[in-house]
């Protein structure tokens, strides 16, 4: 058994193509990858929203004024 | 050179490695910027000097004996093996091929590529111990990790005839273990003896964050490390070689790029996988650290390191997911170890390099199970247990143990840690007081000159 389809390198490289694991599962891997990407956006949207809600109540007027002046 | 094609191949290979070496210099620049950015103002010069002097010390020792170890130690007393003096002979400092020699255009650039890996191994340790280690102690560690221990592991697990490759099927194409796990393990051994910086832990044992004094310097530093790491990836390959030159099982006449074991891969494959594992690491680190800048940037690096063992063979999506999974494990492990054992790893090097390397090796054992690591007959194939054993050898046997034992000896001799008074007042003042005095003197002189020459306003 070999996950890449070759148990040794006794091959003519002119006849070798893909050598990654899970050949034939490219579409499934793409689906998993796309889910990872979309879930990342979802988590980030939610967290940033929560953070901004908290942040808008945190501002001390003097500190905000100083921050504006500091540019 | 027998013909034009051979000549062209040789000159191309020479130039190829030379370019990778120049790129890899950026890793060291990045480490220096990162360390200085992470340290507090009172320790800048000392921190920088500590890392810069790794360059000459590791270079000369790697010339004197490090490079010889790589060629002479692949079967060092393992399974009936011994030191291979014949293979080592051409790599001694007195060999004519270790010099200007028109019959050998490769040894110098190949030596330099390995040397830059040595600097990296030493520099990883350097980051963990900032602001409290004596430079003299660190520089001994730098020579040991850079010119002895990492190159023994390279001979064993990163040489086409290394015993770990032959008998364990150890596969570590872009050095998850041979650079990162060993350096992380070594750093862990040192910081266990060295102890935390003053103030790192509250009286109840709660760890305090010691923020970087300059996050921008730190950021540019890590981006330079990414860039240099790209060069490192290319340096781990043989750019072009014919099957008859490999002289293994491969038949036919198709020339190929290979990994360090002379097994086929492509520069294109590792470019895909470098970028996808970087991205997987950054995305996972952003989520798991809740957007912490330090961990997000370091997570990119940890993602690459986790996927590196198998990045010659992974699919890009696999590389991305391996990078992501590795970062989550490493992040959680870092904080657990910090809290549980009260360890102060100033730049997270043990986690980013050490834990990532170990996790990456083990994952590769499963994902590449049964794949050939070598083009030579009779070598073991990749297995989870071969990779796990390799991870223990890299992180613990050749990394942690020497770092811990040498630090114990240094501590017993009173030459490991700086005095508490010096740590508080800052190393730059204590060791570079001439610089501080000169600065104060010239500022006073300028002020006095200004006062003497300026006409008061009407």
CB contact under 8 A, B372 and A13: no
Best residue in B279, B288, B317, B318 to probe A by mutation, most A CBs within 10 Å?
B317
Cβ contacts of B323 on chain A, cutoff 8 Å: none
CB contact under 8 A, B315 and A3: no
Distance from chain centroid for Cα B270: 18
- B248 close to A (CB below 8 A): yes
Domain residue ranges in chain A: 19-70
Cβ contacts of B286 on chain A, cutoff 8 Å: 40, 44
d(CA B345, CA B192): 9
d(CA B264, CA B261): 9
Q: Hey, is B438 helix, strand or coil?
A: helix
Q: Hey, is B251 helix, strand or coil?
A: strand
Please, are residues B64 and B148 in contact by the beta-carbon 8 Å criterion?
no
Give me the residue from A9, A20, A37 closest to B250, CB to CB: A9
Order of all β-strands in the sheet with B238-241: B238-241, B256-258, B264-265
Distance from CA of B175 to the nearest CA of A (A): 19
Give me the residue from B249, B256, B280 closest to A10, CB to CB: B249
Cβ contacts of A7 on chain B, cutoff 8 Å: 370-372, 381
Distances (CA, A) of B273 to A20, B2, B124, B235, B268: 11, 36, 23, 15, 9
Here the tokens at position B239 are 């750019």
What's the topology of domain B21-82+113-435?
Ammonium transporter fold (1.10.3430)
Distance from CA of A17 to the nearest CA of B (A): 11
d(CA B181, CA B403): 13
CB contact under 8 A, B372 and A8: yes
Cβ contacts of B381 on chain A, cutoff 8 Å: 2, 7-8
- B313 close to A (CB below 8 A): yes
| Residue in chain B lying closest to A45 (CA) | B287
- Residues linked to residue B264 through DSSP beta bridges, in sequence order: B258
Please, are residues A21 and A3 in contact by the beta-carbon 8 Å criterion?
yes
The phi and psi torsions of B240 (rounded to 5 degrees) equal -160, 130
| Residue in chain A lying closest to B255 (CA) | A13
pLDDT truncated to tens, each residue of chain B (458 aa)?
A: 467 888 899 999 999 999 999 999 999 999 999 999 999 988 988 999 999 999 999 999 999 999 999 999 999 877 778 899 999 999 999 999 999 999 999 999 999 999 999 999 999 999 999 999 999 999 999 999 999 999 999 999 999 999 999 999 999 999 999 999 999 999 999 999 999 999 999 999 899 999 999 999 999 999 999 999 999 999 999 999 999 999 999 999 999 999 999 999 999 999 999 999 999 999 999 999 999 998 999 999 999 999 999 999 999 999 999 999 999 999 999 999 998 999 999 999 999 999 999 999 999 999 999 999 999 999 999 999 999 999 999 999 999 999 999 999 999 999 999 999 999 988 887 656 777 788 889 999 999 999 998 776 66
CB contact under 8 A, A43 and B287: yes
Supply the pLDDT for residue B438. Answer: 83
- Beta-carbon contacts of B379 under 8 Å, excluding residues fewer than 6 positions away, are B165, B166, B169, B372, B373
- B254 close to A (CB below 8 A): yes
- B315 close to A (CB below 8 A): yes
Closest CA to B310 of A1, A32, A3: A3
Supply the pLDDT for residue B10. Answer: 92
CB contact under 8 A, B374 and A9: yes
Closest CA to B317 of B259, B277, B265, B263: B277
Residue with tokens 């044992």: B205
Supply the pLDDT for residue A66. Answer: 83
CB contact under 8 A, A20 and B249: no
Supply the pLDDT for residue B388. Answer: 98
CB contact under 8 A, B368 and A19: no
Please, are residues B156 and B163 in contact by the beta-carbon 8 Å criterion?
yes
Give me the residue from A3, A37, A43 closest to B368, CB to CB: A3
Distance from CA of B367 to the nearest CA of A (A): 7
CB contact under 8 A, B254 and A43: no
Best residue in B246, B259, B269, B315 to probe A by mutation, most A CBs within 10 Å?
B315
CB contact under 8 A, A9 and B263: yes
d(CA B450, CA B420): 40
The phi and psi torsions of B133 (rounded to 5 degrees) equal -90, 150
Supply the pLDDT for residue B216. Answer: 94
Supply the pLDDT for residue A20. Answer: 97
Give me the residue from B251, B254, B369 closest to A10, CB to CB: B251
- B370 close to A (CB below 8 A): yes
Closest CA to B365 of B385, B379, B380: B385
Distance from CA of B249 to the nearest CA of A (A): 4
Per residue in B313-331, pLDDT (tens digit) is: 999 999 999 999 999 999 9
Best residue in A8, A27, A29 to probe B by mutation, most B CBs within 10 Å?
A8
- B43 close to A (CB below 8 A): no
A interface with B, Cβ–Cβ below 8 Å: 1-4, 6-16, 19-22, 26, 29-30, 32-33, 36-37, 40, 43-44, 47
Closest CA to B400 of B109, B100, B205, B192: B192
């Amino acid at each position: 058994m070999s996950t890449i389809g070759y148990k040794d390198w006794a091959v003519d490289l002119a006849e070798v193509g893909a050598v990654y694991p899970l050949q034939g599962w490219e579409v499934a891997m793409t689906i998993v990858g796309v889910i990872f990407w979309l879930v990342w956006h979802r988590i980030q949207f939610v967290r940033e929203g929560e953070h901004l809600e908290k942040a808008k109540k945190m501002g001390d007027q003097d500190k905000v004024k100083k921050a504006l002046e500091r540019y | 050179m027998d013909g034009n094609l051979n000549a062209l191949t040789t000159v191309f290979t020479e130039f190829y490695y030379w370019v990778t070496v120049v790129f890899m210099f950026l890793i060291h620049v990045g480490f220096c910027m990162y360390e200085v950015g992470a340290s507090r103002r009172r320790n800048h010069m000392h921190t920088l000097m500590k890392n810069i002097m790794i360059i000459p010390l590791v270079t000369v020792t790697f010339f004197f004996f490090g490079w010889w170890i790589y060629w002479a130690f692949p079967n060092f007393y393992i399974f009936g093996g011994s030191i291979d003096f014949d293979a080592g002979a051409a790599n001694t400092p007195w060999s004519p091929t270790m010099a200007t020699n028109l019959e050998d255009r490769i040894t110098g650039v190949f030596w330099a590529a390995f040397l830059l890996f040595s600097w990296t191994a030493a520099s990883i340790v350097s980051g963990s111990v900032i602001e409290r280690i004596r430079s003299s102690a660190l520089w001994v560690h730098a020579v040991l990790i850079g010119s002895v221990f990492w190159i023994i592991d390279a001979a064993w697990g990163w040489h086409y005839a290394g015993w770990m490759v032959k008998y364990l099927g150890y596969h570590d194409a872009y050095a998850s273990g041979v650079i990162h796990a060993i350096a992380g393990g070594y750093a862990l051994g040192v910081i266990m003896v060295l102890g935390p910086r003053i103030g790192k832990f509250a009286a109840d044992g709660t760890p305090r964050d010691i923020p970087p004094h300059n996050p921008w310097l730190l950021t540019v530093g890590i981006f330079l490390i990414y860039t240099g790491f790209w060069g490192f990836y290319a340096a781990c390959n043989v750019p072009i070689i014919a099957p008859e030159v490999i002289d293994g099982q491969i038949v036919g006449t198709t020339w190929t790029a290979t990994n360090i074991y002379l097994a086929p891969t492509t520069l294109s494959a590792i470019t895909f996988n470098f970028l996808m594992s970087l991205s997987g690491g950054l995305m996972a680190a952003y989520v798991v650290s809740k957007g912490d800048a330090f961990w997000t940037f370091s997570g990119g690096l940890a993602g690459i390191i986790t996927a590196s063992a198998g990045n010659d063979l992974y699919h890009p999506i696999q590389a991305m997911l391996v990078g992501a999974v590795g970062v989550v494990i490493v992040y959680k492990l870092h904080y657990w170890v910090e809290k549980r054992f009260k360890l102060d790893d100033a730049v997270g090097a043990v986690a980013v390099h050490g834990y990532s390397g170990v996790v990456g090796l083990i994952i590769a054992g499963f994902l590449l199970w049964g794949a050939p690591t070598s083009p030579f007959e009779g070598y073991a194939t990749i297995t989870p247990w071969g990779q796990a054993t390799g991870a223990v050898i890299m992180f613990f046997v050749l990394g942690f143990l020497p770092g811990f034992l040498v630090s114990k000896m240094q501590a017993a001799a009173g030459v490991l840690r700086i005095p508490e008074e010096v740590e508080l007042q800052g190393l730059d003042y204590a060791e570079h007081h001439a610089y501080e005095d000169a600065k104060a003197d010239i500022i006073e002189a300028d002020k006095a000159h200004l006062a003497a020459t300026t006409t008061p306003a009407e």
